[in-house]
Amino acid sequence: MDATVIGPDGLSRCAWVGDDQEYRRYHDEEWGFPLHGDRALFEKMALEGFQAGLSWITILRKRPRFREAFAGFDPAQVADFGAGDIERLMADAGIVRNRAKIEATVSNAKLVRDMADGELDALMWSFAPTGAGAERPRPADMAEVPAVTPESTAMSRALRKRGFRFVGPTTMYALMQSAGMVDDHMVGCWRV
C-alpha cells in the first residue's frame, strides 16, 4: 500500500484517507491538529472508545448523532444520565449500541465532572512526547506507525488508575494521533 494518495484536488494525503470525501475533510481539518479542552478531549476519548473493534469512518459518520445523543459530550450533563438514558441510547440506531461502551461513557463523564477545570486536558497532554528525542521521523509507510507507544501505555495506565474505562493503550494512541499529541502524517502528505 502506498503511503499517500492523490485526491481529486491534486493534494497528496495519507493513504488511509482513500477516496472518501469525509475522510479527506477529517484529515485536512481535524486529524493531527492540537485539540485542547476537557469537553473536546472527553468527546475524543468517548468516540475512540466506541471505535474499538470498528472502523473510524463508521464513528465519523455517526458522530453528529453521537453528539446529539450524548448532550454535546458535556461531561456534567452526561454524568447525570441514568438507567432510562442508557436504555434510550441502546435503542438509538444512529450510534453504536454497545451497553458496555455506553455505560463507560457515562461513568467516564462522572470522573471528568469531578475533576478540576482543565485537569483532563493537562493530564492527557502530559503524555505528549516532548523534549530531546521526542521528535521522530515522519513515517514513510503505514508499517512505521506504531499501534502503541510507551506514552500511550502510560496515559492508559494513569486514566485507568483514576477509574476511566475503554482507554486502552491502542485506543489512547489513536487519540494522541487525532488530537495532535503526535504527528503521524506520512512523508509526502501535504500536511507535513
Task: Enumerate the active-site residues.
Answer: 26, 48, 56
Single-letter residue type at 151:
E
Whole-number Å distance between alpha carbons of 168 and 181: 16
Residues 6+ positions from 149 with CB-CB distance below 8 Å: 129, 169, 173, 176, 182
Q: Are 133 and 181 in contact (CB under 8 A)?
A: no
Question: Judging by beta carbons within 10 Å of its beta carbon (0-12, 13-18, 19+), is residue 56 exposed, middle or buried?
Answer: middle
DSSP assignment of 146-192, as one string?
-S--HHHHHHHHHHHHTT--S--HHHHHHHHHHTTSS--PPTT-TT-
* CA dihedral over 141, 139, 167, 30, signed as positive or negative: negative
